[in-house]
Amino acid sequence: MTFANVARASRRLIATRPTQVCTNCSPGGAEPAPILRSQHLGWRITCPLCGDQLRGPGKREIPSPFQQYRSAALRDEKLLDDEAERGIGTWTSPAEIARLLLMRRIPRPFPREDDLWRFRVLGAIIPDLDHVVAEQGENLPTPAKPILPLHMRPALLAGVTIVERAGPEMLQMLSGHMMGDNRVRFTNAAESMMARNRIWKASSQMHLI
């Protein structure tokens, strides 16, 4: 199993250990159980072989609190898969959007200092997220390794879809939810993505001539 051909931007979404399993495609009872490539792909919520819903590695399955975003999540699963496995992109990198959405934000009114850990840019797009994170006491991963637990993953995938559809203007809007160094880093990354968008548009227009 190799991931050498995966797009560079997507490599942070590859887990070092299996994070999910397809009960339909993984043969039961085999020792040692074979590990499928899809078990490491942190952008997937369905099996690329049969389309079934993936399950977490533990015996106790945690239902996703974001089922209402499933259709948007499935769209981004395809966007991320196209980018990682086939080098197909749109105006920007979906994997880079995912990383930006996991940066910390400062909501208003300002929360207590003890609560700052739970607020991410993604919560400005998926309003349910802040409540779910607080209720479960589960700190989300950082942009350096943006792989969410399977039951939380639909929220991130849906957020990426929303930004990808809205275009660069939404990145500018989201920067308003940041402060200090985080805002500088977010703005610099967003401006780089928007610059690539202008190049992508110009290239697309040249093909029409």
Give pLDDT tens digits for 87-117.
Answer: 988 888 999 999 999 999 988 888 888 888 8
Residues whose CB is less than 8 angstroms from the CB of residue 19 and which lie 6 or more positions away in sequence, other chains included:
39, 40, 42, 56, 57, 147, 149, 150
**For the whole model, what pTM was predicted?**
0.89
Q: What is the mean pLDDT of residues 187-196?
A: 85
- Domain ranges across the chain: 64-208
Question: What's the CA gap between 196 and 93, in Å, rounded?
Answer: 9
Question: Which of 22, 58, 24 is closest to 40 using CA atoms?
Answer: 22
Residue 36 has pLDDT above 60, yes or no: yes
pLDDT of the residue at 17: 92
Query: In angstroms, what CA-CA distances link 185 with 54, 144, 169, 181, 182?
Result: 34, 13, 17, 6, 5
pLDDT digits (tens, 9 = 90+) for 12-23: 999 999 999 998
Mean pLDDT rounded to a whole number for the chain: 88
Q: Provide φ and ψ at 149, rounded to 5°.
A: -55, 150
